[in-house]
């Protein structure tokens, strides 16, 4: 795993946007796997900025999001459909047919999961999968104990995840307890994976992912088995790593390797 520790969260998010912009400059029709959450907001803002500078053609890529809450339709204000339209697809002018998310309001969720997997395969698979990480080590909504070879399906959210995500909902508004999420096997099929973690609340999850055992207790630890996985983080999220001195020697301030 490539481990890039940036001095602060803004630079970490900018580095992720740069990686995506470089890929889209080289291959405008690339297939992106996209994530939601507070961590991704500065990434998408930076990416819109890069598109505005003409670094890549803004509206040629195809995307597949990781997950959606069960029971929320695509116009529900807290749905990931709305999040993506607001933070990325709208500002970039991405044609709706190129942006895919699972439908959390599908009448048959199992059929929707199978349809989503088939759509990813029909697009030729994901070139670059962007990931955040939950404080308990989840990726997408694959909670601890998820099968490490799972495919898109419904998962029950851990209490910690529900509490962490409550801030996006109004006071007294119920937070969904289930989600339709790409599986860990689906994520691992991507040609490249970039996980962004910022802030002290992610430090334990990051340490378990990078230096802990490969275990379903920390779903993100499966990235130890990916041939092209990069962790991009800030110093706060890196604080519980034991081998920081080594990572910073290889990539000072998250930069190019010192050979
Ligand atoms: C949710 C999403 C994940 C995301 C995580 C962390 O659970 N399903 O994809 O990584 O939240 O979110 P945040 O970036 O807000 O901490």
Q: From CA 253, how far away is CA 235, in angstroms rounded?
A: 9
Tokens linked to 210:
């990078």
Q: What is the pLDDT of residue 151?
A: 98
Per-residue pLDDT tens for 178-230?
A: 999 999 999 999 999 999 999 999 999 999 999 999 999 999 999 999 999 99
Report CA 190 to chain centroid distance, whole Å.
12
Active site residue 87: no
At 256 the pLDDT is 84
67 given a catalytic annotation: yes
pLDDT at 258 over 80: no
User: Known catalytic residue: 136?
Assistant: yes
Average pLDDT, the chain: 97
From 132, 140, 144, 196, the mutation candidate for ligand 1 (largest count of ligand atoms within 8 A of CB) is: 132
**165 CA from centroid of ligand 1 (Å):** 8
- Do 27 and 59 meet the contact criterion of CB atoms below 8 Å apart? no
Question: What's the pTM value of the predicted model, to 2 decimals?
Answer: 0.97
- 257 pLDDT band, cuts 50/70/90, is confident
CA-based nearest residue to 233, from 215, 217, 211, 216: 211
Distance from the first to the final alpha carbon of the chain? 17
Closest CA to 244 of 210, 218, 196: 210
- pLDDT tens-digit profile of 72-97? 999 999 999 999 999 999 999 999 89
Q: What whole-number distance in Å separates Cα of residue 168 and Cα of residue 174?
A: 11
Of the candidates 143, 164, 189, 248, the residue annotated as catalytic is 143
12: three-class secondary structure by DSSP: helix
For residue 142, the 8-state DSSP code is B
**Cα–Cα distance, 127 to 132 (Å, whole number):** 17
Atom of ligand 1 nearest to the CA of 39: 14
- CB of 132 shorter than 6 A to ligand 1: yes
Q: Which atom of ligand 1 is least distant from the CA of 202?
A: 16
Q: What is the mean pLDDT of residues 40-68?
A: 97
Which residues in the chain belong to E strands, given as ranges? 2-6, 31-34, 62-65, 67-69, 99-100, 128-131, 153-156, 178-181, 192-197, 229-234
Question: Is 157 or 258 the better-scoring residue by pLDDT?
Answer: 157
For CA atoms 250, 256, 257, 259, give the dihedral sign. negative
């Amino acid at each position: 795993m490539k481990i890039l520790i940036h001095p602060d969260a803004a630079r970490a998010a900018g580095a992720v946007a740069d990686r995506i912009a470089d890929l889209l400059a080289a291959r405008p029709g690339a297939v992106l796997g996209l994530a939601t959450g507070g961590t991704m907001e500065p990434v998408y803002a930076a990416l819109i900025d890069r598109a505005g500078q003409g670094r890549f053609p803004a509206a040629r890529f195809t995307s597949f999001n990781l997950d959606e809450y069960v029971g929320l339709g695509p116009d529900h204000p807290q749905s990931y459909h709305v999040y993506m339209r607001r933070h990325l697809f709208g500002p970039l002018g991405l044609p709706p047919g190129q942006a895919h998310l699972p439908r959390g309001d599908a009448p048959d969720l199992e059929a929707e999961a199978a349809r989503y997997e088939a759509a990813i395969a029909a697009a030729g698979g994901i070139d670059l999968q962007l990931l955040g990480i939950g404080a308990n080590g989840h990726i997408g909504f694959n909670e601890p104990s998820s099968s490490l070879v799972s495919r898109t399906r419904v998962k029950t959210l851990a209490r910690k995840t529900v509490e962490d995500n409550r801030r996006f909902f109004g006071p007294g508004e119920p937070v969904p307890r289930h989600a339709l999420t790409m599986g860990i096997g689906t994520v691992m099929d991507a040609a490249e994976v970039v996980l962004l973690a910022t802030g002290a609340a992610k430090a334990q999850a990051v340490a378990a992912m990078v230096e802990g055992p490969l275990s379903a207790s920390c779903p993100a630890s499966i990235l130890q088995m990916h041939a092209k996985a990069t962790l991009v983080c800030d110093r706060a999220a890196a604080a519980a790593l034991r081998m920081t001195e080594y990572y910073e020697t290889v990539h000072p301030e998250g930069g190019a390797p010192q050979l």
